[in-house]
């Protein structure tokens, strides 16, 4: 039986991030993907021109429909911009006993456009974060969640990850992709810190990298991997997807990663 994962996130009309990136990642990693759409965005590789939230009660209706029927092995949570929606998601996941929850606290698009209402930050931290098995903030998101400065080195990343664990998170992977040098992520909350390093790839096609990584972690958890193994496999998948992204030629801005790099006969799918 194929494992099932659900993404609860916003839709990306350009197809590179959000729900679309999550479902592509699930499919590439041999997981059946279902979705709960929490917001609609008008965006492309150049930026976000509009965000429309789905009413919180309808988000809850989607959760009830999916989790009451499907045997969901893992859940990835992405963009949730409204406090009422965040509370609806938290209540729905608790009601259905959701497991293997990966929370990617999406706050800003790769283009720099804000995706989260300021009043939603505390709700994510206090009500949703404690439900997650792992939280995957980047440097800017970790700073917002902890109320600190953006980390500039590994020690600061570890400190902010630990602060989020102290605030109720089970485990936190702080993503250091914006630092110089290799792409280094740190996992806190599982005993001794774990470090995940990958070579930095020179590409402007980074749209949806955070969504892809978190959904890949969820996919591997759905397959039964332990968290540390799931993160390592997900990071390897993302690194290869970025490396192959230049074959796609999608859009005129920050293009998407190549989710199906290992499946298509060549980068253009022909």
Asked if residue 96 lies in contact with residue 119, where contact means CB atoms within 8 angstroms, the answer is no
Catalytic residue chosen out of the listed positions 14, 15, 208, 255: 208
Gap between the Cα atoms of 88 and 58, Å rounded: 9
Catalytic residue chosen out of the listed positions 7, 45, 85, 209: 209
For the chain, count helices (H), then strands (E).
8, 9
Catalytic residue chosen out of the listed positions 177, 211, 212, 235: 211
Q: Tell me whether residue 112 is one of the annotated catalytic residues.
A: no
Angle between helices 209-222 and 18-28 (to 10 degrees): 40
Q: Tell me whether residue 92 is one of the annotated catalytic residues.
A: no
Q: Tell me whether residue 136 is one of the annotated catalytic residues.
A: no
Query: In the 8-state DSSP scheme, what is residue 126?
Result: I
Q: Tell me whether residue 211 is one of the annotated catalytic residues.
A: yes
Gap between the Cα atoms of 5 and 43, Å rounded: 25
Catalytic residue chosen out of the listed positions 24, 76, 175, 235: 175
Asked if residue 101 lies in contact with residue 93, where contact means CB atoms within 8 angstroms, the answer is yes
Nearest partner of 109 among 244, 206, 180, judged by Cα: 206
Taking residue 165's Cβ as centre, other Cβ atoms within 10 Å add up to: 17
Apex CA 172: angle with CA 168 and CA 178, to 5°?
Answer: 135
Catalytic residue chosen out of the listed positions 10, 92, 176, 210: 210
Gap between the Cα atoms of 41 and 211, Å rounded: 15
Nearest partner of 132 among 158, 104, 157, 159, judged by Cα: 104
Query: In the 8-state DSSP scheme, what is residue 187?
Result: E
Name the residue with tokens 């990298």.
Answer: 209
Q: Tell me whether residue 76 is one of the annotated catalytic residues.
A: no
Q: CA separation (Å) from 105 to 28, 108, 176?
A: 23, 9, 15
Catalytic residue chosen out of the listed positions 25, 45, 85, 206: 206
Catalytic residues: 175, 206, 208-211
């Amino acid at each position: 039986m194929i494992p099932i994962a659900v993404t609860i996130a916003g839709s990306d009309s350009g197809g590179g991030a959000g729900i679309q990136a999550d479902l592509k990642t699930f499919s590439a990693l041999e997981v059946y993907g279902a979705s709960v759409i929490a917001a609609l965005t008008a965006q492309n590789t150049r930026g976000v021109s509009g965000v429309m939230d789905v009413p919180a009660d309808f988000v809850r209706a989607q959760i009830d429909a999916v989790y009451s029927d499907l045997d969901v092995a893992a859940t990835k949570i992405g963009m949730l911009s409204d406090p009422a929606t965040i509370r609806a998601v938290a209540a729905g996941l608790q009601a259905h006993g959701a497991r293997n929850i990966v929370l990617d606290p999406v706050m800003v698009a790769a283009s720099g456009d804000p995706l989260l209402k300021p009043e939603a930050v505390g709700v994510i931290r206090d009500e949703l974060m404690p439900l997650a098995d792992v939280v995957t903030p980047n440097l800017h998101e970790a700073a917002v969640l902890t109320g600190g400065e953006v980390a500039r080195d590994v020690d600061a990343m570890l400190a902010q990850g630990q602060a989020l664990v102290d605030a109720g998170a089970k485990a936190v992977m702080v993503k250091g992709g914006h630092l110089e040098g290799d792409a280094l992520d740190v996992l806190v909350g599982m005993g001794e810190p774990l470090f995940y390093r990958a070579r930095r790839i020179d590409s402007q096609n980074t749209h949806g990298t955070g969504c892809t990584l978190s959904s890949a972690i969820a996919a591997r958890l759905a397959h039964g991997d332990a968290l540390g193994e799931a993160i390592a496999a997900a990071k390897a998948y993302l690194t290869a997807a970025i490396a192959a992204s230049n074959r796609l030629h999608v859009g005129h801005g920050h293009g998407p990663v190549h989710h199906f790099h290992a499946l298509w006969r060549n980068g253009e799918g022909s």
